[in-house]
Structure formats: structure tokens, C-alpha cells
């Protein structure tokens, strides 16, 4: 399964598969109960391909860590995310010994174990990166949008008269005549 097709949505438990995306929302399917829903564009959504974990040297992509766990467990499920904090920490340390515990919280480790077990239940391993052609297409789509925004902001700046901040135009003096 491609890791770019898997999302984590803030405020919702578990992981979600992307079914379709539009300009205003994304249609997803829960990996926990296979229910479909629409996620608005304003929701905080994280693609698993964009998530990394802190280590002592460099940040390691989550895909690499999940694949390491899968190899270590030989395709079997890991410990439950409801296990004791020390049991989860020992499990993850056995696989990722270079993890930076000053910056990776216990809640992050619980989430990692829960996500691994969800992905194992869905037979999602080995997790693959996006195809190089897909990456290029995604970057090409982003670049024209950035150019359009830059052109729009230039046009907007030319249309507005420049005035210094805090100064208002002086009011015209009028003479009042006595009647």
C-alpha cells in the first residue's frame, strides 16, 4: 500500500484511507471500522508520508520506522497501545534505539504502536513511497498555483494606492458663510 494514501485526522482516532479528493473535501474510509466519511478542507489532516520521528542524528520518516517494526515482528501485530508505558517504550527502543526521548512523548509511542497494529490488520505492509512520476506531477501542480498566487498579489499591489500607515488624507478646508 502506498503511504501517501493513508491519513491521520486530528481529533479522530485511527488512520484513514483516501478514496477521493475534491477541492472542498476528502472522502476517506476508516481503517478501524471501514466507515466512509467526508473530511472538510479545514480539518487538520496529516499524510503519513509527511510524518517523521525525532532521533539523535536525523529525523527518520515514519514509513521507515513502520517497515522496521514490520520486519522485526515478522508481520505479526505488536503490543497493544493499552500496555504499560514502559512496555511500549522498551518495544520501540528495541527497534529504533536512536530515538530521541526528550522530543518524542509517550503519547507518540502509543500512537505509533496503534497505527502499526492497524496497518498490520489491513495487510498494508510493506509501505511504499509514491512513484517518482507521481511526485513530479504533484510538484508541477503546486508550482502553477504558487505562480498564480504571486501574479494575483502583484496585481493587487498595483491596483491599491500606496499610503503610509497611520496617516489619513487631509480634509479639505471649507469656508462657512453666514447667512
The CATH number that applies at residue 41 is: 1.10.10.1650
Lowest mean pLDDT among 35-44, 109-118, 140-149, 170-179: 140-149
Is 152 among the domain residues? no
Instruction: Check pLDDT > 50 for residue 171.
Output: yes
Best CA proximity match to 126, nearest among 16, 31, 7, 1:
1
What is the number of structural domains in the chain? 1
Is 158 among the domain residues? no
Distances (CA, A) of 50 to 6, 73, 166: 11, 24, 43
Is 137 among the domain residues? no
Is 89 among the domain residues? yes
Is 94 among the domain residues? yes
Q: How confident is the model at residue 172 (pLDDT cuts 50, 70, 90)?
A: low
Question: Is 32:14 a contact under the CB 8 Å cutoff?
Answer: yes
Is 166 among the domain residues? no
All cell numbers assigned to 50: 509527511
pLDDT at 143: 47
Four-point Cα dihedral 52, 66, 98, 73, nearest 10:
170
Q: Which domain holds residue 11?
A: 3-121
Stretch 42-48: mean pLDDT, rounded? 90
Q: d(Cα 54, Cα 24) in Å, to the nearest integer?
A: 33
Largest Cα span, the chain: 101
Is 53 among the domain residues? yes
Q: d(Cα 20, Cα 78) in Å, to the nearest integer?
A: 30
Per-residue pLDDT of 30-42, as tens digits, reads 999 999 999 998 8
More confident residue, 110 or 173: 110
Is 113 among the domain residues? yes
Question: Is 81:110 a contact under the CB 8 Å cutoff?
Answer: yes
Amino acid at each position: 500500500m502506498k503511504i501517501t494514501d493513508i491519513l491521520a485526522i486530528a481529533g479522530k482516532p485511527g488512520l484513514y484511507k483516501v478514496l477521493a479528493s475534491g477541492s472542498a473535501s476528502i472522502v476517506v474510509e476508516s481503517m478501524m471500522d471501514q466507515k466512509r466519511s467526508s473530511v472538510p478542507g479545514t480539518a487538520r489532516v496529516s499524510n503519513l508520508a509527511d510524518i517523521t520521528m525525532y532521533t539523535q542524528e536525523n529525523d527518520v520518516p515514519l514509513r521507515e520506522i513502520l517497515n522496521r517494526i514490520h520486519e522485526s515482528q515478522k508481520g505479526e501485530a505488536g503490543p497493544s497501545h493499552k500496555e504499560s508505558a514502559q512496555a511500549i517504550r522498551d518495544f520501540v527502543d528495541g527497534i529504533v534505539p536512536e530515538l530521541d526521548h526528550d522530543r518524542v512523548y509517550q503519547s507518540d509511542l502509543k500512537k505509533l504502536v496503534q497505527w502499526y497494529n492497524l496497518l498490520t490488520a489491513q495487510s498494508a505492509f510493506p509501505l511504499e513511497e509514491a512513484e517518482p512520476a507521481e511526485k513530479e506531477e504533484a510538484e508541477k501542480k503546486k508550482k502553477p498555483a504558487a505562480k498564480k498566487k504571486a501574479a494575483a498579489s502583484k496585481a493587487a499591489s498595483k491596483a491599491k494606492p500606496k499610503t503610509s500607515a497611520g496617516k489619513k488624507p487631509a480634509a479639505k478646508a471649507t469656508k462657512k458663510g453666514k447667512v
